[in-house]
């Protein structure tokens, strides 16, 4: 990995994380351990995982040493970490879903929320299994966390496949002016099923929130456990936006448009 020309200095002296006064986004020194980085910003665990850097058992390594072992440029990795921290601090950039056509909104949901879920849930499931296996002896809730994430993963993958293979193509046809051509009656029928599955997923996430004390880490939780909790909290936020766009915008507009085309 090379440092792009024009990158500003990223590290301050002293060996500790520092925070800029204008953005409140931390910057990291080469001496900062990767375990300390994840402990302070658990959401950054995904960056280390993507780069193959062990932030759990290898968490005592400094950022510079860990990068050197993987032949990675430490300045570039620091830039990635700061960019990820800034994105998490700023929150997601939301689009005006109500201004989109039905086809545009279906595409946005697939390319934004479906892509995220397909990438994120397997990562969370792997961490949930690992945490339950290693620490279930001291917290009896952890096996249920794993089983809940497993069921949620299976349900969401099936749910998204049904939307992409069946429902959204019908929505696009209706948007193009075709009559409601769903083979088992009105498009309202599969939409009701999707809404029921949304409620089931929401109940699963609510149970995960309950099992984890609101996704709050305990003092004894390892970095993998903290990363899992941060990831679950982020997933919950994305699910709320995802379901809102479907239940409150895409689905009612598709039903209304289908009724117009029938008449």
Domain closes at, from 90, 111, 140:
90
pLDDT at 205 over 70: yes
Residue 1 domain flag: no
Do 188 and 254 sit in the same domain of this protein?
yes
Residues 134 and 199 in one domain: yes
Q: Which residue among 54, 70, 90 closes a domain?
A: 90
Asked, for residue 206, whether it belongs to a domain, the answer is yes
DSSP class of residue 1 equals -
User: Which residues make beta-bridge pairs with 26?
Assistant: 19
> CA-to-CA distance for 103 and 218, rounded, in angstroms?
44
Q: Is the pLDDT of residue 185 over 90?
A: no
Question: Would you say residue 17 has pLDDT above 90?
Answer: no
Average pLDDT, integer, range 83-106: 84
Torsion of CA 184, 185, 186, 187, to 10 degrees: 10
Whether residue 175 sits in one domain with residue 82:
no
Q: CA-CA distance, 44 to 195, in Å (whole number)?
A: 32
Domain co-membership, 81 together with 111: no
Name the phi and psi angles at 214, rounded to 5.
75, 30
Give how many domains the chain has, as a whole number: 2
* Same-domain check for residues 122 and 170: yes
The residue range of the domain holding 193 is 97-262
215 lies in a domain?
yes
42 lies in some domain? yes
Q: Answer yes or no: do 70 and 134 share one domain.
A: no
Pair 41, 124 in one domain: no
Q: Which residues pair with 18 in a beta bridge?
A: 27
Whether residue 240 is found in the same domain as residue 115: yes
CB 17 within 8 A of CB 32: yes
pTM of this structure: 0.75
Is 200 in the same domain as 235?
yes
Residues 37 and 32: their CA atoms lie apart, in Å, by 7
Q: For residues 85 and 87, give the distance between their C-alpha atoms in angstroms, rounded to a whole number.
A: 5
* Same domain (yes/no): 236, 115: yes
Average predicted confidence (pLDDT) for the chain:
84
Is the pLDDT reported for residue 18 higher than 50? no
Question: Measured between alpha carbons, how far is 157 from 26 in angstroms, rounded to an integer?
Answer: 35
Residues 124 and 214 in one domain: yes
- When pLDDT is cut at 50, 70 and 90, the band that residue 254 belongs to is very high
Q: Please check whether residues 81 and 176 belong to one and the same domain.
A: no
Mean pLDDT over 170-181 rounds to 82
Q: How many CB atoms lie within 10 A of CB 202?
A: 14
Whether 10 maps to a domain, the answer reads no
% the chain with pLDDT above 70: 84
Q: Is residue 5 domain-resident?
A: no
Q: Which helix (H) or strand (E) holds 26?
A: strand 26-27
Please check whether residue 3 lies inside any domain of the structure.
no
The pLDDT score that the predictor gives to residue 24 is 57
pLDDT tens column, 134-175:
999 999 999 999 999 999 999 999 999 999 999 999 999 999
Sorting pLDDT into bands at 50, 70 and 90, what band is 183?
low
13 assigned to some structural domain: no
The residue from 37, 72, 90 where one domain ends is 90
Please tell me the distance from the alpha carbon of residue 46 to that of residue 259, in angstroms, as a whole number. Answer: 45
């Amino acid at each position: 990995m090379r440092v792009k020309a024009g990158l500003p200095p990223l590290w301050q002296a002293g060996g500790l994380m520092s925070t800029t006064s204008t953005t409140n986004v931390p910057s990291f020194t080469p001496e900062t351990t990767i375990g300390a980085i994840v402990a302070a910003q658990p959401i950054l665990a995904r960056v280390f995982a993507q780069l193959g850097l062990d932030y759990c058992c290898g968490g005592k390594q400094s950022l510079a040493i860990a990068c050197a072992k993987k032949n990675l440029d430490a300045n570039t990795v620091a830039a990635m970490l700061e960019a990820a921290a800034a994105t998490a601090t700023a929150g997601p950039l939301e689009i005006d879903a109500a201004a989109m056509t039905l086809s545009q909104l279906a595409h946005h949901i697939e390319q934004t929320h479906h892509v995220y879920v397909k990438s994120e849930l397997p990562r969370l499931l792997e961490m949930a299994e690992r945490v339950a296996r290693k620490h279930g002896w001291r917290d009896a809730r952890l096996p249920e966390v794993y089983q809940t994430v497993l069921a949620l993963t299976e349900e969401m993958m099936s749910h998204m496949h049904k939307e992409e293979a069946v429902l959204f193509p019908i929505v696009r046809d209706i948007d193009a002016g075709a009559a409601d051509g769903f083979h088992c009656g009105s498009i309202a029928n599969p939409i009701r099923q999707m809404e029921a599955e949304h409620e089931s997923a929401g109940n699963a996430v609510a149970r995960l929130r309950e099992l984890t004390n609101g996704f709050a880490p305990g003092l004894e939780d390892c970095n993998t456990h903290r990363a899992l909790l941060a990831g679950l909290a982020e997933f919950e936020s994305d699910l709320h936006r995802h379901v809102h766009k479907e239940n409150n915008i895409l689905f009612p507009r598709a039903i209304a448009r289908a009724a117009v085309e029938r008449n």
